[in-house]
Structures are given as C-alpha cells and as structure tokens.
Amino acid sequence: MIEKLDWDTRHFGVPMGRFNWSETGQPHTESVAAATQQAKQLGLKQLMARAHPSEMEKIHALEAGGFRLVDTLVTLTIDLRKNPPPSAKDSSVRTARAQDLPGLTALAKTAFADRSIWLDRFHADPKIPEGKADALYEEWVRNSVAPASAAASMADQTFVSEIDGKIAGFLTCVRGSETVYGKVSLNAVDSSFRKRGIYRAMIDHALAWFLREKSPLVSVRTSIFSHAVQRAWIRIGAVPSDVEHTFHWWTD
C-alpha cells in the first residue's frame, strides 16, 4: 500500500512515500487511516496519493485523513498511426548535448515559476521550500541529458530550441512501443521566447522521433490549467484520456 519514494526523499531531504489504493474492498476511510499509520511506523514524513475526480469516496476519505489537494493533472494521448505528424521543419530545434547543460539548467530553474500558467504538486505545497521545488527541474533536465549513470537516466531523447546561441526551450522524450505509450516528460520554453511557436516546433521534432523509434503511441501529462500545453497537443490531434487529483499528507 505504501511505496517509498527514494528519489524524492533524496532530493527534498524528507522521507517521502506514495499511497497506492489497494482494491481489497476495505472502506476507503480505513485504507487511508491504515496508510498514514504505516507511514508513521516507516518514518515517512510525507505521503502523496492520487484519485480520479469521479472517485468521490476516495477523495473524501483522503480529505478526512488529512490529505490536501496539491494539483490536478490531465493526460493527453495521440496515436501517430492514425494522426501522422506534420513534418518537423524548424531548424532551431536539435538534439540536446551535454554542453547545453548550463543553459538547460538555468532555463529549468526559472521556467516553472509563473504560477498563472504552471503549478506542480511541489510548488503548490507550502511545506516544500521554493528553492527545492525549482531545483527538482534542474536535476530532472540534468538526468535527462547527461545522467551520472544509466540508472539515473530520465529520458531517451531531449530536444532543444537554440536561438541566437541561447537555449530557448527543451522537451524530453521517453520511448514507448507499438503498445506502450511513450511520454513527453519535461518541457518548457524560456519566458522571453514564449508564444511564438517554439513549443509546437519541438513537439513536431519529438513526434518524428517517436515514429522513427517505432513508438507511435505518445502521451503528455500536464496541469489542468496549462492551456498552452493542451492547445498545442489538441491542435495536432491529441485527445484527453485521463485526469487525476494529487494530494499530500504530512505527519505534522
């Protein structure tokens, strides 16, 4: 029922875990109470849990157990066999290199700061220091482009848009297969380069890559109010396929 989150624990310096619903027929309120008790026994200070907006009993059980809503995510999916992508023409987009890391980490650190367009579960949680939430994205992009080990790798391919020698945006891809969804995982455009089609250009290059990799099923998960992400993906034929609320619980 409780899964320890080692990466999160190391990054935030707080023992963290995830509560996974067990479908045993146990009342949800009892499952949640058992989970928080187990978390305390394991020395975990924070738990995260997810529920679909239609799962009212689960949501109310989480609320009764002290969990608080921290974000709502929407997943969009596309099958490139049915929706062939347009050709990737923008010449500013190329594969990321290790030398791009200073530009990539600088962009990752600041790109997610505008709360009117993006708010993830860590930035939304007042108990997480702001700097640690920003640093998560730096770490993520570093582990996508130049991981210390294969086990630390978080992407199979990263695209950047470079304009006048500056990294204007990046987008990371995780390969899937003919039957398993590949993912566009981490993506952002520098605030000074937004609203001029750079994100869309990187998506076009990513979709061509997924096709080359024989990974025609592609998904992206984003904040429910991230209109730019949703508009870009819906325009190329992606459809919403899932929505999840995320909740956090703390020992104190």
Residue numbers at the binding site for ligand COA (CB under 6 A): 111-112, 117-118, 187-189, 194-200, 222, 226-229, 231-232, 235
Q: Which two tokens stand for residue 215?
A: 């990974």
Nearer to ligand COA, 110 or 153 (CB): 110
**Do residues 24 and 221 make contact, with C-beta atoms less than 8 angstroms apart?**
no
Beta strands at 182-189 and 217-223: parallel, antiparallel or unpaired: parallel
Nearer to ligand COA, 34 or 124 (CB): 124
**Shortest separation between residue 187's beta carbon and ligand COA, angstroms:** 5
**Shortest separation between residue 48's beta carbon and ligand COA, angstroms:** 18
**Shortest separation between residue 154's beta carbon and ligand COA, angstroms:** 14
**Shortest separation between residue 179's beta carbon and ligand COA, angstroms:** 24
Nearer to ligand COA, 29 or 226 (CB): 226
Nearer to ligand COA, 112 or 209 (CB): 112
**Do residues 205 and 212 make contact, with C-beta atoms less than 8 angstroms apart?**
no
Q: Which two tokens stand for residue 60?
A: 């109310």
Q: Which two tokens stand for residue 221?
A: 């998960």
Dihedral of CA atoms 78, 80, 84, 89 in degrees, nearest 10, equals 80
**Shortest separation between residue 131's beta carbon and ligand COA, angstroms:** 18
Across the chain, the runs of DSSP E, i.e. the strands, are: 2-4, 16-19, 46-51, 68-79, 93-95, 157-163, 166-174, 182-189, 217-223, 239-250
**Shortest separation between residue 101's beta carbon and ligand COA, angstroms:** 18
Q: Which two tokens stand for residue 237?
A: 């034929």
- For residue 231, give the H/E element and its range: helix 227-235
Nearer to ligand COA, 195 or 212 (CB): 195
Nearer to ligand COA, 38 or 110 (CB): 110
**Do residues 228 and 36 make contact, with C-beta atoms less than 8 angstroms apart?**
no
Q: Cα separation of 52 and 244, whole Å?
A: 5
